[in-house]
Chain A
Amino acid sequence: MRGELLAQRGRAVIAPRAVVDLRPYACPLTYVKTRIALERLADGERLELWLAAGEPVESVPRSAEEEGHRVLSVEPLAGRAAEFRVLIEKRAAAPGGLP
């Protein structure tokens, strides 16, 4: 079902190719795991990250953007107080990477 369009609450969404729970990790491991997860995706595929509030959610999505990927959404993780779900779309031709 991954990659297929799913209807959810009336909105069509593409399921993420991978989900990485970064809540147990601190910098720089958060960045490293994000980068590696993105490396493994093909262009256009999506990565879902679960991030703690504070530095992780403030910096990790921005770093991904700086690497040329698209941050599609940042939402509170269902039922959690200080945790977030971030959806990132990989852009393979990202500036700063090697061809």
Chain B
Amino acid sequence: MARGPILDDARLARWARQLLVPGFGEGAQERLASARVRAVGADGVTTPALVYLVQAGVGRLWIDDPEPVSPQDVSGGAGSWVYPPSAVGRPRVEVAVEGLARLSGFVAVEPYPTGGVPDATLVAAPSAAQALHAAEAARRAGIPHVVLEPDADGGAVVSIPPGAPCYACARSTSAGRPALPGVAALSALAAQELVQLITAPRSVAGRRLDLVRGVLTNRATARLAGCVCGGGAPQAP
């Protein structure tokens, strides 16, 4: 990671509250400020995570989503923290850049540059196949990544530091139900996990957090026998 800008008084003032958290100091903030984060998928459900990543001070947030803002993004179950109803039909990446950039001049929010290699990835893709593909790309690049699996007003967040069991080993096998407003909590949690993976790389082993009716359960992820992430032969999905 390239070294980010130094923490001048303006940045210290902006991030003062998190800098006061024991264990989250100058070094953590600098790692965050040097990080290029790719967000694969930016639907309404993902927007709380995007807001928190920007507010926390990642260096660069790359929005990777080819779809337009849909009616489900704004008034379907979860709503959105960034897309107003007037934005329906416009490209998500355009509206996301607009809405997120205004939160912080310290963060570069931009469309994902094709071929760009991030330092960390948030996977919130619309299909299981796309999620697996994006997670596998992050795994091969050796970067920490977090996968968001919404399910009604909860779902799961899978955290994958480099070397941990991969997403294919840890994912849900059932499809999530349509999102409900409380899913914003899961989205915020995904941002928290990603920030943790970026700022304290060796502190967290691979884990899966499931949120069901407002209560979280935590499971360490485990490698499935023969998975390519453990050195096994690649298999067809």
Residues of chain A at the chain B interface (Cβ within 8 Å): 25, 28-29, 31-33, 35-36, 39-40, 67, 96-98
Q: How far is the CA of A36 from the CA of B16 in the complex (A)?
A: 11
Report the interface size class on chain B: 10 to 19
Residues of chain B at the chain A interface (Cβ within 8 Å): 7, 9, 12-13, 16-17, 19-20, 22-23, 25-26
Cβ contacts A to B, 21 pairs, < 8 Å: A28-B16, A29-B12, A29-B13, A31-B16, A31-B20, A32-B16, A32-B19, A32-B20, A33-B12, A35-B20, A35-B25, A36-B7, A36-B12, A36-B19, A36-B26, A39-B25, A39-B26, A40-B26, A67-B22, A98-B22, A98-B23
Q: How far is the CA of A97 from the CA of B17 in the complex (A)?
A: 16
Asked if A28 and B17 sit within 8 Å, CB to CB, the answer is yes
6 A-B pairs with least C-beta separation: A98-B23, A28-B16, A32-B16, A96-B22, A32-B19, A39-B25
Q: How far is the CA of A32 from the CA of B17 in the complex (A)?
A: 8
Asked if B20 and A28 sit within 8 Å, CB to CB, the answer is yes
Note all chain B residues with C-beta closer than 8 A to A40: 26
Min CB–CB distance B28 → chain A (angstroms): 10
Note all chain B residues with C-beta closer than 8 A to A36: 7, 12, 19, 25-26
Note all chain A residues with C-beta closer than 8 A to B26: 36, 39-40
Note all chain B residues with C-beta closer than 8 A to A33: 12
Min CB–CB distance B63 → chain A (angstroms): 30
Q: How far is the CA of A42 from the CA of B26 in the complex (A)?
A: 15
Q: How far is the CA of A39 from the CA of B9 in the complex (A)?
A: 17
Asked if A35 and B19 sit within 8 Å, CB to CB, the answer is yes
Q: How far is the CA of A30 from the CA of B198 in the complex (A)?
A: 26
Note all chain A residues with C-beta closer than 8 A to B25: 35-36, 39
Q: How far is the CA of A67 from the CA of B23 in the complex (A)?
A: 12
Q: How far is the CA of A28 from the CA of B20 in the complex (A)?
A: 9
Note all chain A residues with C-beta closer than 8 A to B13: 29, 32
Note all chain A residues with C-beta closer than 8 A to B23: 97-98
Note all chain B residues with C-beta closer than 8 A to A29: 9, 12-13, 16
Min CB–CB distance B234 → chain A (angstroms): 38
